[in-house]
Amino acid sequence: MDTALAKEALQSERARMAFDLERLQRSLGTATSGSGERLDSGLDDAVATFSSELDEGLMDELRGTLNELDAALARIVAGTYGECVECRKAIPDARLAALPASPCCIDCQRRAEHS
């Protein structure tokens, strides 16, 4: 796997996710002006009620994806990208091409899902 290409894919995906997340936050009225990522858990009830559970779920999903992308970018920097975080075997290029942020090989992923 060409890590320069992977890095590009991860960064553009990350930018897209960050954009989506920001737009969603704004539509929910939870975005704070200017200060970036201050998500108060003490958000007042009116706003909390206003935001639907669907959007909350979507935001969680986006945040999770962003974390995965950040972790993958960190692995590129560390020189361990393309290596399964569980068993240290090389993740096949086809899998990385389809899922550039995937932290582990298919075997370990399956194990994680079934445990």
Question: With respect to Zn ion, which residue has the nearer C-beta, 13 or 86?
Answer: 86
Shortest CB 87 distance to Zn ion, Å: 3
Angle at 94 between CA 91 and CA 95, to 5 degrees: 55
Interacting residues with Zn ion between 56 and 95 (CB under 5 A): 84, 86-87
Beta bridge partners of 83: 90
Shortest CB 47 distance to Zn ion, Å: 42
- 72: Cβ contacts below 8 Å, ≥ 6 apart: 6, 10, 81, 100, 101, 102, 103
- Among 27, 31, 10, 4, which residue's Cα sits nearest to residue 73? 10
Question: With respect to Zn ion, which residue has the nearer C-beta, 62 or 105?
Answer: 105
Question: With respect to Zn ion, which residue has the nearer C-beta, 17 or 105?
Answer: 105
Interacting residues with Zn ion between 8 and 47 (CB under 5 A): none
Which positions touch Zn ion (CB under 5 A)? 84, 86-87, 104-105, 108
